[in-house]
Structure 1
Amino acid sequence: MPDIHIERSHTLGIEAARAVARQWMQKVERDYGLACSYDEGERRDVAQFTRPGIDGSVEVTADSFRLRATLGLLYASFSDQIEQRLQRNLDELLGTSEADDDAYNDKDWL
C-alpha cells in the first residue's frame, strides 16, 4: 500500500497551528468526504482522517505539521496526485504557496 508522508515546519505556535489544522479538517471533510477527529494534547495534537481507501493522521505541534496517510488499492495509482494535492492544500492554509488552478476535478479520486 502506498504511503504518503508530508512534513511542514512553521512558526505559528500551537494555538495558531491548531486553527490551521481545524481549517484543513473542515476542508477535507467538505471537499473529499473524509471523516475526521481531533485530539488536543499539551504539546502535540493529532487529527485522524479516514474514508474507504485512505486512512491517516496529522500531528500538530508548535513548530510542525506531520501528515501520514496510507492509500488502499483504489487510490494507489493516484498516490502522486493525491500527495501533491495534500501538500498544496496544507501549503495554502499555511500561506507558503501560490494557489494554482487545477485543469481537472480531483474530488473524483480523493
Structure 2
Amino acid sequence: MADINIVQQHKLTAEKARAAAQQVADKLAQEYDLACTWDGDVLRFERSGVDGALILEKDQAQLNLKLGFMLSAFAPMIEGKIADKMRKVFAESA
C-alpha cells in the first residue's frame, strides 16, 4: 500500500476551486479509470486498488489517495502527475 498526500494552495472562489478540482478528477478518471463523485466540498475517488478524496478548503485543496499493492510501485509517477495537474489548474483558474 502507498499513500499519496498533496496540498495545493489557491486563491480561488469556491466555484472556481470546484471547477479546478473537477479538472483534476476528469484527468484521474481518464488515466486511471476512477469513479469520481462529489460529497459537498469533497470529491471522492475509487476503483479497485484506489481510494481517496480531494478536499476543498477556503485557501487550499488537499488530495489523499491510498493505492493498493498493484499500483503502489507507480506511486512516485502518479504523485508527480497529479501534483503537476493540481498546480496548473489551481493557478490557471484564478
* TM-score, normalised relative to structure 1: 0.76
Name the structure 2 match of 1:52. 48
The structure 1 residue matched to 2:71, chosen from 65, 75, 78, is 75
Bigger RCO of structures 1 and 2 (CA < 8 A, at least 6 apart) = 2
SS of residue matched to 2:53: strand
Identical counterparts, % of pairs: 35
The structure 2 residue matched to 1:87, chosen from 79, 83, 89, is 83
Distance in 2, Cα, partners of 1:76 & 1:27: 19
* TM-score, normalised relative to structure 2: 0.88
- State the structure with more CA Rg: 1
1:55 shift after superposition: 0.9
Unaligned runs of 5+ in 2: none
Runs of 4+ in 1 over 6 A off after TM superposition: none
Aligned length: 92
1:51 shift after superposition: 1.5
CA contact (8 A) 2:50 2:67 kept: yes
CA contact (8 A) 2:4 2:65 kept: yes
- CA RMSD across the alignment: 1.4
Unaligned runs of 5+ in 1: 97-110
